[in-house]
């Protein structure tokens, strides 16, 4: 037999589970290889925009060079969009066609 207290507990469980915040979707930011952007510029981008150490930036740059693409990091949608746009702006300002995209995890 269900009591009023039991009913209130069930309701509070349902309400509280609805209010549990969901984790935001995460996105990988990818750099793509091209025939014109220098390896040095890619390393510089990785260090300045993505906060990578010289060693880590060099490893990612080699992935871009050898495999055609490299993952720079995983971020929320807004942060990923900002990083992609910043890469494009800096590349354009420096005369490189470097391309960056984002992919949902």
17-49 pLDDT, tens digit each: 566 778 899 999 999 999 999 999 999 999 999
Residue 75's Cβ-count burial label (10 Å; 0-12, 13-18, 19+) is: buried
Q: What is the pLDDT of residue 21?
A: 75
- Domain of 76 in residue numbering reads as 24-104
Tell me if the pTM is above 0.95. Answer: no
Express as a percent the part of the chain with pLDDT over 90: 78
Confirm whether 12 is domain-assigned.
Answer: no
Q: What's 38's domain CATH number? A: 3.30.1390.10
Confirm whether 8 is domain-assigned.
Answer: no
Pairing of the two strands 69-76 and 99-104: unpaired
Number of compact structural domains in the chain = 1
Confirm whether 55 is domain-assigned.
Answer: yes
pLDDT digit string, tens, across residues 55-98 = 999 999 999 999 999 999 999 999 999 999 999 999 999 999 99
């Amino acid at each position: 037999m269900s009591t009023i207290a039991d009913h209130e507990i069930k309701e509070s469980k349902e309400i509280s589970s609805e209010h549990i915040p969901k984790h935001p979707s995460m996105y990988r930011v990818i750099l793509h290889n091209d025939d014109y952007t220098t390896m040095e510029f890619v390393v510089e981008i990785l260090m300045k925009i993505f906060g990578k150490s010289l060693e880590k930036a060099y490893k990612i740059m080699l992935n871009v060079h050898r495999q055609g693409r490299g993952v720079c990091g995983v971020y929320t949608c807004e942060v990923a969009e900002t990083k992609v746009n910043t890469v494009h702006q800096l590349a354009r300002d420096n005369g490189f066609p470097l391309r960056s995209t984002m992919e949902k995890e």
